Amino acid sequence: MGSTVTDRLAGVTASLASKAPVRAATTANITLSGEQTIDAVAVVADDRVLVKNQTDGIENGIYDAKSGAWVRSLDFDGTRDVKSGTFVVVASGTAGAGTLWRITTADDITIGTTSIAFAIMTIDSATAFMITLLDDGDAATALATLTAAGLGENNAFTGTNSFSAISTHTAQVRWAKGADIVSAATLIIGTDGNNFDVTGSTGPITAMTVAAGTEFILQFDSTPTLTDSASLDLGGADITAVAGDRMKFVATAANTVNLISIRREGQGLGLTLAAEIATTSDTAKTFVSIPSWVKRLTIMLNGVSTDGTEELLVQIGDSGGIETSGYIGAVAQSTNTTALGAGFLLNIGGAVAGLYTGQLILTLEDTDHTWVASGIIGRSDSAEGHLVAGKKTLDTALTQIRLTSTNTPDTFDAGVINIMYE
């Protein structure tokens, strides 16, 4: 069972209340490393596991199993991911299969600091109203119970979501198309629906007029820019829309809006993998047209080689071009270190036909376009490894990344490279 895909800019899933199911749940303290058997389930790399019995409760949470050290799942690794009452279903296990577990720790919860406790959810913990509703034998009786509680089909909700009439199958949340909204500095969110097209590119959009508690979707028909602010929380960076982009928002207070998720036109949710480039010729290989909303970028090398002894170099750039100076940090190999300057240096001392494999991960650190980087590069034809860490600040959003080599660049003669971003 793989990890759930995240779709919010800050890295959380669409729901804090419920999490994607886990394959297994622990029954005792475990070592958070390696493939292992948990509750009679043979857990392998990338399986989701509920860890709830650690001696140190700070370690509890949802993890992605790995062959090495386990990592917290992306929907359970940040303060915005977890609240008291968050629950998760366990899919397999002798003791855990089919069970439902919720967090009983009081808010606020800080991952890595707060001791997190889980308790099993049973019918014993349900309210009298829930038990009555579950005991109702048909749709008419269930509707009568809901109506008596003020939750019937004719009840007016303060938000824009409403329940349809109860059918014999399920209750539904209805999304209704509202009138188009013309792009402007302040968008006026209508009350005739909760799913709107935004026409035109006038902007930047800096505010929205909307009632507290409203949840709504905007589909952009053109290319306006949205400006991140305290009242329009976009996750820390401005966004330039393209035609077809869909963004889901919630108003946490009157005229104060948070972006919940974004789906870019022509792209799925989660990670985007570019088309790989062969490094069998030329002195530089460049990926361009990287979207301005990208917050994390990984460049991957697979058996890359050159015809000389210059060192490999990664450089980034914005709309003004590739930057060739101002990189701060160092690369290390054994006891040797070299300071960065013209780019993120990947190795110390090149080798003719040396085959270099590894990755460099760049993460946007703030809204001033500062990118921090860390990476590991090794020789697949030799027992040699290099570590690199550093940072680089651009003037505007990152749009391109290049692999080349130092000084008078050598010519590539083997291997491939690719990038992946989110």
* pLDDT string in tens for the chain (422-residue length): 444 444 444 444 445 567 888 999 999 999 999 999 999 999 999 999 999 999 999 999 999 999 999 999 988 888 778 888 888 889 999 998 888 898 999 988 899 999 999 998 764 555 566 656 666 666 677 767 666 665 554 443 433 344 433 344 344 446 788 999 999 999 999 998 889 999 999 989 999 999 998 999 999 999 999 999 999 998 777 888 888 888 899 999 999 999 888 877 765 556 788 899 999 999 999 999 888 878 899 999 999 999 999 999 999 999 999 999 999 999 998 889 999 999 999 999 888 999 999 999 999 998 789 999 999 999 988 888 999 999 999 999 999 999 999 999 999 999 999 999 88
| β-pair type (400-405, 312-318) | antiparallel
Residue type, 117: A
Residues 6+ apart with CB under 8 A from 235: 8, 9, 10, 228, 259, 295
CA 96, 100, 104 angle in degrees (round to 5)? 115
With contact defined as beta carbons under 8 Å apart, do 324 and 405 qualify? no
pTM: 0.44
Q: Which pLDDT score is estimated for 305?
A: 95
Tokens of 31: 């070592």
Instruction: Tokens for 166, please give them.
Output: 């109860």
Q: How much is the pLDDT for 172?
A: 45
d(CA 217, CA 358): 40
Residues in CB range of 293: below 8 A, 6 or more apart: 9, 237, 239, 240, 262, 264
How high is the pLDDT of residue 4?
Answer: 46
Are 361 and 373 a contacting pair, CB within 8 Å?
A: yes
Q: Are strands 256-263 and 232-233 parallel, antiparallel or unpaired?
A: parallel
End-to-end C-alpha distance for the chain, whole angstroms? 22
Q: What's the maximum distance between 2 C-alpha atoms anywhere in the chain?
A: 80
CA distances in angstroms from 28 to 37, 52, 57, 401, listed in the order given: 12, 8, 12, 46
Give me the residue spans of the domains in the chain: 18-123, 181-263, 272-421
E-only strand ranges, 117-255: 118-120, 181-182, 186-188, 195-199, 207-209, 215-220, 225-226, 232-233, 239-240, 246-253
Q: State how far the Cα of 246 lies from the Cα of 262, in Å rounded to an integer.
A: 6
369 SS3 class: coil
- What pLDDT score does 75 carry? 85
Fold classification of 272-421 is Jelly Rolls (2.60.120)
As a whole number of angstroms, the distance between CA 282 and CA 277 comes to 12
Find the length of the chain: 422
318 within 8 A of 267, measured Cβ to Cβ: no
Res 12: pLDDT: 42
Buried b (16+ CB within 10 A) or exposed e, 276-292: ebebeeeeebebeebeb
Per-residue confidence (pLDDT) for residue 154, from 0 to 100:
46
- Sheet arrangement for strand 87-90: 18-22, 87-90, 100-103, 118-120
Cβ proximity of 365 and 372 under 8 Å:
yes
